[in-house]
Amino acid sequence: MSASSLARLAFALALAACALLPAGYLLLTALPILLDGGWLAHFASTSLPHQARTSLWVAMEASAVAFAVGAVTAVMVSRFEFRGRHLVSLLALLPLLFAPYVTASTWTVSFSSAFFEGRHALAIQHGLTCSPYVFIVFRVAAARIPNSFSELAAGLGLGPWQRLRRVHLPAYAVPATAGLMIVFAQAIGDYAAAERLGIDTLSVGVLNLWLASQSSSVAAIVSVVMIVPSVLLVGVAAWASTSIISRNPVPPASAAASRKPLAATWARAIMAWSALCSLAGFWIPEALTVRWAWLTWDKTRFAAIPGDMINAAGTSLCTALVVAVICAVTALLLRSGGRSTLAERVPWLFLTNYFLPSLVLALAFVMMSRDGSLGAHWLGSWRDSRLLIVVSEALRFLPFAMLPVLDALRRTPHATIEAARAFGAGPVRARLVAFAGHLWPALLLGCALVFMESLKELDMSLTLQPFGYSSPALKIYAFSRHQNMDRAAVWVLISQALMLLPLLLCWWRMDRLGVPRSEAGARTAAA
């Protein structure tokens, strides 16, 4: 085995260890109780099975909402040309500026109906919050499907329903699965919004057990129930991406045909649908937030704003930089040679941390860094700093950047590297040049999403909150728990201001998908 192969193997093993560290520690902690037996009967006698069913129903309803909002809009924007198409893309991404617990708080304060405090309201909030991610996934997939596929099927005599079943549904099967997994992970793992509405979900039950017992074994046992389905989902996703997709490569975006013109009636319908969805997901909460901030402007402690902004932006920026470094090194090292199934499947293990509820992931780091543990000895004084927040958030949100990067690398021909080497470039420079056109846009988009998700993340910050640490998310949660959303409004606007630039970056990248390189170059030259 060559030195390059050994280096790739060692790096892959190191990645696997980092990805599985939280879940592995929870499994080891729970192993004595699991081997002892009797825990399953005790688990069934608690309220956790009911909470699991509630979480499952919320996730299914949220998936329906997210697909109706995100998938339909993405396909229409990608496949058709109509007036207002760019505005529709922007409206589809606007819910990224709101965390579910903020939307839940605005709804409960503004509307007196019991509907806005029930399970269905929680599902709608998660669906609207996750719809931008479904939109992005379907937008990328639709931009790579040439229109010639459908035209060829029509030329062979296939009717509309046959084309839908034999051409479009197989093409959208993978993004549909990815979108479904994202929505399920977000809906089941959320704690703050469910706790705010008083919905007894699985995450709420896990935290209540931890607070009641303060036992590592109890938390580990409950976490194992969530780890097993997560690992199974990750296994299915890794196998599908590296087996099915690799055998049936999707053409790049440049191969897609130009968008077809859309009839005015349908264009007005999609505009109205996007406006209606953004009204519930963004404009109503935003209008209420601006009104509350205006009314409480004179009561705001402006002296605390710069420090909280620096804390939040610094933590999120550090998280995004850690993710960027890991993704870049992974791309350059694991793809330094020919195609490797191991190199392509190992990074998918990081999905385990995303499918784990953020509260469970935070509890794993709490147990690993508590007094008497090996992590406490290694970390020392660092265990009571924002380092744990950065590391935990990086592990959780790494798939947002890693998966787009892996997809970009898969679409990079190895012949490009060989051509660069033939012109005298070194091995590192050749890969940098070859990957630049695909890698950097994907990495930039992924890090922008990581920054926004880290800025909105509450569960891990609340659980791992170091001494003296504060952020807009913690301030919003503290005010909302005491029915003071008017006091929290200013902090919501501050967090949105920090997320505005990454949001515009995502919109710009989505707008350029499917644009031929010649057209993109002409636009750049004109600008």
pLDDT of residue 524: 37
pLDDT tens-digit readout, 399-437: 888 877 777 776 666 666 667 667 776 666 666 666 666
Is there a domain that residue 294 lies in? no
Q: What is the pLDDT of residue 176?
A: 78
The better pLDDT of the pair 216, 157 is held by 157
Region 285-305: mean pLDDT is 80
Please check whether residue 296 lies inside any domain of the structure. Answer: no
Structure token pair of residue 58: 């919320």
Distance CA 309, CA 490 (A): 12
Give residue 442's pLDDT. Answer: 81
Q: How sure is the predictor about 252, in pLDDT bands with cuts at 50, 70 and 90?
A: very low
The answer to whether the pTM exceeds 0.85 is: no
Contact (CB, 8 A) for 121 and 197: yes
Residue 190: per-residue pLDDT:
82
Tell me what pLDDT residue 461 has: 82
In 240-304, which residue ranges form alpha helices assigned H by DSSP? 245-247, 264-278, 284-295
pLDDT attached to residue 451: 93
For the chain, percent of residues with pLDDT exceeding 70:
67
* Identity of the residue numbered 462: L
Q: How many of the other CB atoms lie within 10 Å of CB of 238?
A: 18
DSSP string, 450-463: HHHHHHH--HHHHH
**Could you tell me the two tokens for 273?**
């649908």
With 0-12 / 13-18 / 19 or more C-beta atoms within 10 angstroms meaning exposed / middle / buried, residue 296 is middle
CATH number for the domain spanning 232: value is: 1.10.3720.10
pLDDT at site 494: 86
Tell me if 278 is assigned to some domain: no
The predicted model gives 379-396 an average pLDDT of 78
Confidence of residue 272 (pLDDT cuts 50, 70, 90): very high
Residue 248 has pLDDT above 60, yes or no: no
| pLDDT at 321 > cutoff 90 | yes
d(CA 104, CA 83): 33
Specify the number of domains making up the chain. 1
488-525: per-residue pLDDT in tens? Answer: 888 888 888 889 999 998 898 877 765 544 444 434 33
Cα–Cα distance, 458 to 472 (Å, whole number): 10
258 in any annotated domain: yes
Amino acid at 398: L
pLDDT tens-digit readout, 114-134 = 676 778 888 888 899 889 999
- Using alpha carbons, select from 63, 346, 330 the residue that is nearest to residue 187: 63
Identity of residue 36: D
Q: Which residues pair with 80 in a beta bridge?
A: 260
Task: Report DSSP state, residue 215.
Answer: -
| C-alpha span between 188 and 355 (Å, rounded) | 9
The yes-or-no verdict on residue 70 having pLDDT over 70 is yes
Per-residue pLDDT of 1-26, as tens digits, reads 566 667 777 777 787 788 788 878 87
Residue 378 CA to residue 382 CA, distance in Å, equals 9
Max Cα-Cα span within the chain: 71
Mean pLDDT of the region 86-104: 88
Distance separating the N- and C-terminal Cα atoms of the chain: 51
Q: How confident is the model at residue 38 (pLDDT cuts 50, 70, 90)?
A: low
Least confident piece of the model among 7-16, 51-60, 81-90: 7-16
Assign 446 a pLDDT band (cuts: 50, 70, 90).
Answer: confident
Q: What is the per-residue pLDDT for 320?
A: 92
Domain that holds residue 317: 3-17+26-263+304-515
Measured CA to CA, the distance from residue 452 to residue 394 in angstroms comes to 12
Q: DSSP assignment, residue 144?
A: T
- Interacting residues of 62 by C-beta distance below 8 A, sequence separation 6+: 123, 124, 126, 127, 130, 183, 186, 187
Q: Mean pLDDT score of the chain, rounded to an integer?
A: 76
